[in-house]
A = this chain, B = another copy of it.
């Protein structure tokens, strides 16, 4: 449980990615949070530990390999969360609902809430579904009321 680093190193190797400091740091940060993490936040936390460009490339590589998935919030800002199920390079299956809190602006992966199948007009072929619910998260709705 404690030796995250060893676990992350395995994850990188498994995906044919070299074990580098920026990559381990991103995994460390993301796994230590209970909600999706925005690019700006990551950039701020990593500071001069890694170049902005490197951060973008790390995120892109992770996404391609199925290690993390991207969620855009209401403002279009990119947020990232570790994939829960067995996502892989050519198969993401993160079709769970995402919840964007109006108050704390966190984005929660509601892994237990699946997106209901959809009936679309004739001709349309649905490949992926992306549902973002907006409102107040549990913590904030407590505090406010």
Question: Interface of A with B (CB < 8 Å)?
Answer: 72, 74, 76-78, 97, 99, 102, 108, 110, 112-113, 115-116, 118-139, 141-142
Contact = CB atoms under 8 A, between A and B. Distances in A.
Contacts of A120: 97, 99, 110, 113, 133
Contacts of A141: 123-125
Q: Which 7 A-B pairs have the closest CB atoms?
A: A123-B138, A76-B76, A127-B135, A125-B136, A128-B134, A126-B135, A131-B131
Q: Which of A77, A115, A119, A125 counts the most B-chain CB atoms under 10 A from its CB?
A: A125
Nearest to A72: B76
Contacts of A132: 129-131
Contacts of A130: 74, 131-134
A133 B112 contact: no
Given A99-B126, A110-B121, A125-B136, 13 more contacts: A72-B76, A74-B130, A99-B120, A99-B124, A102-B127, A113-B118, A113-B119, A116-B116, A120-B133, A122-B138, A123-B138, A125-B135, A129-B134
